[in-house]
Amino acid sequence: MGLSRIIKDVNYAGSVVEVGILGPEAAAPKQPHEGRKPSPATMVEIGGYQEFGTATIPARSFIGAWFDENESANLAFARDLAAKRIGGKLDYRRSLELMGVKAQGGIQKRIARGIEPPLKAETIKRKGSSKPLIDTGQLRSSITYRVVTGGT
């Protein structure tokens, strides 16, 4: 039983977990708020504008900052998953999926909490909300993960 588990795990050697705005959501245009014209920007473009900033939008890191803020907790989580894999309680693919779920949920919670810097008064008036990165909820719901298998 142990050998078959090891062979199965070898198939995932070099695999990674990608987290962000992935798949069809990345290329989808942002849905406009009621009464506003549609934006030609895709969700991945809007995510990039927010994550890194532009000439007119300050950076509001929701992905990189989450990883930075949770580095030690994420390392402890990965160590725990590795110990469970070694102990035969968890397979490699499932451990990668659990890391993806943790990151996806953490990033979505970070967006929901609100991210500095605060919005300008005119933006708050236009949106009807003072919470950055939350307009229609489309950006937050676009955050997902996928396991990309490396194989050997």
Domain extents in the chain? 2-23+61-148
Contact between 15 and 150 (Cβ < 8 Å) = yes
User: What integer pLDDT is reported at residue 151 of this predicted model?
Assistant: 55
Write down the pTM of the prediction: 0.83
pLDDT at 141: 92
pLDDT in tens, the chain (152 residues): 455 665 566 566 778 899 999 988 788 777 666 666 767 788 899 999 999 999 999 999 999 999 999 999 999 999 999 899 888 898 888 999 999 999 999 999 999 999 999 899 998 888 888 888 887 788 999 999 999 987 54
Q: Which residue in this structure is represented by tokens 């300050």?
A: 58
**Length of the chain, please?**
152
DSSP notation for 58-102: ----SSHHHHHHTHHHHHHHHHHHHHHHHTTSS-HHHHHHHHHHH
Whole-number pLDDT of residue 79: 93
Residue 136 DSSP label: S
From the number of C-beta atoms within 10 Å of its C-beta (0-12, 13-18, 19+), residue 49 rates as middle
Look at residue 37 in the predicted model and tell me its pLDDT. Answer: 72
pLDDT, residue 12, reads 67
| Cα–Cα distance for residue pair 151/148, rounded to 1 Å | 9
The pLDDT, as a whole number, for residue 7 is 59
Cβ proximity of 20 and 47 under 8 Å: yes
